[in-house]
């Protein structure tokens, strides 16, 4: 397929595809799916070999959020029966993080619900970062605390935060459909603050909220322009008790096409398989490893993932290897001090959170899909790990 040959050549040169090419990836048929995966896999292997970076989430404060993000089980007015607790103590968070590190995680992601941190919250998280780094040599720490105000990013960086996560989630044009308490521009500004403070930016999207193909391309192109080092791709987990509980728009095939499109647009960036992979990719998760070079190990913020040992077995069985702390994740040209030739470093010049709208284009898959009832059975609210007396899943 000429389209795929063109996209591979551009990806190997770090050149931005056209919007038409990105849309064409999402419009490919199921008959062409393995060709799409193989093509995007060539780009993935060029920049990341067969390495898979593991990340581990620690939910520092669960529920009770004043924001109204429609996708989120922790939102204002959510009736989802999730764990609710206030800030973990630094030693509690450090113990939770240690479980993930022991399971092979290279990065610990510290997440707290809320619009954004107070200065006291930044102090709490700073203490937690210190506790984690004292006990886990070489571990990366990413903070995800919501919208930042002036000076907070710098304080987190001084405390030892390596990265900051704040997802764009969906296109600017449709952002108001999923949230009214802040806007797309607020999110962009927080990512820029993190970058200006010297932290590695982590920003991604959520697919499956009723968006169109054009919306997906728009948000991925916006991410490319913003130039984060990490792009998590989440698939909506339709929690009962949230406005998007009935949004079951994804198939494994569509999820793979979305990941492939993201890889073509962001060829040399850490593309991370994030929340919802077990629910929507199901038995096709191993194929996604040919597209992404990073994933979350074990459980998520308010939902349970597959067993950590099963994640590790899946990676090994698919012929990939877990990336060690002695390995630099990003290609040399994206590392500070590395060389960056013409064509980009993801600058666009060459080219921790989740109303209903139209059903996505190309959403239907051939064959019979599992019923909504079967898929709902895959959504398990987290009842272990942080905030409980039970050991975490790592």
Residue 176 half-sphere exposure, CB side, CA atoms within 13 Å?
Answer: 1
Ligand-binding site membership of 340 (annotated):
no
3-state class of 27 per DSSP? Answer: coil
Question: For 62, which DSSP code?
Answer: B
Judge contact between 228 and 188, C-beta under 8 A.
no
C-alpha to C-alpha distance for 232 and 201, rounded to whole angstroms? 11
Looking up tokens 């000429």, which residue turns up?
Answer: 2
H/E stretch holding 109 reads strand 107-112
Reported as a single tens digit per residue, the pLDDT across 319-374 is 999 999 899 999 999 987 554 443 333 333 333 443 333 333 333 333 455 666 56
Class of domain 2-325+343-376: alpha beta
Cα separation values, 39 from 32, 226, 274, Å: 11, 25, 22
Ligand-binding site membership of 353 (annotated):
no
pLDDT of residue 364: 36
Task: Walk along the chain (394 residues) and give the pLDDT tens digit of each residue.
Answer: 899 999 999 999 999 999 999 999 999 999 999 999 999 999 999 999 999 999 999 999 987 888 888 888 877 677 777 778 889 999 999 999 999 999 999 999 999 988 999 999 999 999 999 999 999 989 999 999 999 999 999 999 999 999 999 999 999 999 999 899 999 999 999 999 999 999 999 999 999 999 999 999 999 999 999 999 999 999 998 888 888 888 999 999 999 999 999 999 999 999 999 999 999 999 999 999 999 999 999 888 777 788 899 999 999 999 999 999 899 999 999 987 554 443 333 333 333 443 333 333 333 333 455 666 566 667 777 877 777 877 778 8
pLDDT of residue 7: 98
Looking up tokens 């389209």, which residue turns up?
Answer: 3
Which pTM does this prediction carry? 0.88
Ligand-binding site membership of 144 (annotated):
no
Terminal CA-CA length for the chain:
41
C-alpha to C-alpha distance for 50 and 266, rounded to whole angstroms? 17
Domain ranges of the chain: 2-325+343-376
Looking up tokens 């290609």, which residue turns up?
Answer: 331
Residue-by-residue DSSP string for 143-165: EE-SS--TTHHHHHHHHT--EEE
Reported as a single tens digit per residue, the pLDDT across 141-153 is 999 999 999 999 9
Name the nearest CA neighbour of 108 among 143, 76, 73, 82: 143
Q: Which two tokens stand for residue 141?
A: 């720490």
Residue-by-residue DSSP string for 264-280: HHSTTSEEEE-TTHHHH
Judge contact between 343 and 196, C-beta under 8 A.
no
H/E stretch holding 47 reads helix 33-48
Ligand-binding site membership of 65 (annotated):
yes
Q: What angle do CA 288, 292, 297 make, to 5 degrees?
A: 85
C-alpha to C-alpha distance for 60 and 282, rounded to whole angstroms? 28
C-alpha to C-alpha distance for 219 and 324, rounded to whole angstroms? 31
Judge contact between 301 and 324, C-beta under 8 A.
no
Q: What angle do CA 129, 133, 137 make, to 5 degrees?
A: 160
Ligand-binding site membership of 272 (annotated):
yes
Cβ–Cβ contacts within 10 Å for residue 121, how many?
Answer: 18
């Amino acid at each position: 397929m000429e389209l795929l040959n063109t996209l591979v050549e551009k990806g190997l040169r770090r050149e931005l595809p056209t919007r038409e090419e990105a849309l064409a990836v999402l419009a490919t048929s199921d008959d062409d799916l393995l060709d799409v995966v193989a093509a995007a896999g060539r780009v993935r292997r060029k920049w990341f070999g067969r390495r898979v970076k593991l990340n581990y989430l620690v939910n520092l404060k669960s529920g009770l959020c004043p924001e109204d993000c429609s996708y989120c089980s922790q939102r204002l007015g959510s009736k989802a029966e999730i764990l609710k607790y206030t800030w973990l103590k630094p030693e509690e968070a450090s113990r939770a993080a240690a479980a993930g590190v022991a399971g092979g995680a290279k990065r610990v992601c510290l997440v707290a619900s809320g619009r954004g941190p107070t200065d006291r919250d930044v102090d709490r998280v700073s203490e937690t970062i210190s506790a984690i780094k004292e006990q886990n040599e070489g571990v990366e720490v990413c903070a995800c605390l919501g919208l930042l105000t002036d000076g907070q990013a710098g304080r987190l960086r001084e405390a030892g935060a390596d990265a900051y996560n704040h997802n764009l989630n969906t296109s600017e044009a449709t952002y108001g459909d999923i949230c009214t308490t802040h806007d797309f521009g607020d999110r962009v500004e927080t990512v820029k603050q993190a970058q200006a403070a010297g932290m590695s930016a982590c920003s991604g999207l959520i697919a499956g909220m009723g968006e169109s193909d054009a919306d997906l391309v728009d948000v991925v192109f916006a991410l490319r322009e913003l130039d984060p080092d990490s792009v998590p791709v989440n698939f909506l987990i339709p929690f009962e008790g949230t406005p998007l509980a009935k949004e079951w728009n994804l198939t494994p095939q569509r999820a793979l096409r979305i990941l492939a499109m993201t890889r073509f647009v962001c060829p040399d960036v850490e593309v991370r398989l994030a929340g919802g992979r077990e629910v929507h990719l199901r038995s096709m998760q191993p194929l996604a490893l040919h597209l992404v070079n990073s994933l979350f190990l074990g459980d998520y913020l308010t939902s349970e993932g597959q067993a950590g040992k099963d994640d590790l077995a899946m990676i090994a069985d698919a012929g990939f290897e877990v990336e060690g702390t002695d390995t630099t994740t990003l290609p040399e040209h994206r590392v500070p001090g590395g060389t960056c030739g013409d064509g980009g470093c993801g600058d666009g010049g060459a080219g921790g959170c989740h109303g209903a709208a139209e059903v996505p284009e190309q959403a239907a898959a051939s064959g019979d899909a599992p019923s909504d009832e079967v898929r709902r059975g895959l959504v398990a609210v987290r009842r272990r790990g942080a905030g409980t007396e039970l050991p975490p899943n790592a």
